[in-house]
Amino acid sequence: MDEDTDDILNNIIDDDDDANIQMTPAELIQKMEEIWINEKFAPELLPHEQEIVDLVLSQISAMEDNVETLPSADFKKGFYQLEIDRIRFVVTSYLRQRLEKIETYVLHVLKEDEEREEAYLSEAEQQFALKYKEALEEHFDNATMFYPGLPFEDWKSNFVRPNMNSFVFLKAKSNVEGVVVDRGQGDDNEIVDIKAGSQMLISYKGVSDLIKKGDLRLI
């Protein structure tokens, strides 16, 4: 049954011209956990990882099909089921995390995505964000119409943004040199090098690109 799942995964990966080629299922799950944790601790919405999520979901459903064929007396069935549940938890937690950020920062997220070449929202997330924005606007318009004279257009231009200066814990996957730390007193910046494997507490702003590139991961 393992060969079956491997075959399925290989086929999927072969079809996919993306950068993430040649991953074993174990590496795939590892990657899924990493993007889950990154999304959890990053203040802003990170670029979507739809390919990874799709691959993981297809692994889960292949496994589920296999589990169905096992006799229910087999005690190993419990492990397969348990593993499926564990992985499913990671995926749902990741997607929920993203939805929560989209809801909180909906106007900001949509605007950023328009201005950026690479979309951070997946297609489904974009649809959700647009609908959510529509509903929000309608609701606010209805609510503010009762009180004439309110500056009710303000919320549209002055919208909720993630706090990019918030502090995060991270671990370096490779050596990183020249991270700029803004000390918040004018030009008084500091340059920090981070060695592979070391852990830091630092402001998110200086490292956001390195996290998206994958040199650092949040913990």
Using CB under 8 A, pick the residue from 182, 208, 212, 215 that binds other proteins: 182
Nearest to 132 by CA among 102, 177, 97: 102
The distance of Cα 30 from the centroid of its chain, to the nearest Å, equals 14
> What sign for the dihedral angle of Cα 119, 211, 51, 63?
negative
Using CB under 8 A, pick the residue from 10, 20, 33, 53 that binds other proteins: 33
Q: How far is the CB of 25 from other proteins (least distance, A)?
A: 5
Site for other proteins contains 81 (CB under 8 A): no
By CB under 8 A, which span of 120-128, 130-138, 143-151, 198-206 interacts with other proteins? 198-206
Site for other proteins contains 158 (CB under 8 A): yes
By CB under 8 A, which span of 32-40, 45-53, 118-126, 135-143 interacts with other proteins? 32-40
Q: How far is the CB of 62 from other proteins (least distance, A)?
A: 9
> What sign for the dihedral angle of Cα 170, 172, 176, 177?
positive
Using CB under 8 A, pick the residue from 11, 61, 174, 198 that binds other proteins: 198
| Cα distance between residue 52 and residue 98, in whole Å | 15
Q: Which is nearer to other proteins, 60 or 119 (CB)?
A: 60
Site for other proteins contains 151 (CB under 8 A): no
Nearest to 87 by CA among 48, 37, 29: 29
Site for other proteins contains 87 (CB under 8 A): yes
By CB under 8 A, which span of 11-19, 81-89, 119-127, 133-141 interacts with other proteins? 81-89
For the record, the structure tokens of 30 come out as 């590892």
Looking at residues 92 to 111 of the shown chain, list those that interact with other proteins (rule: CB under 8 A): 97, 100, 104
The residue ranges that bind other proteins (CB under 8 A) are: 1-2, 5, 25-26, 29, 33, 37, 40-41, 43, 59-60, 63, 75-76, 78-80, 82-83, 86-87, 89, 97, 100, 104, 158, 160-163, 165-169, 181-185, 190, 192, 198-203, 219
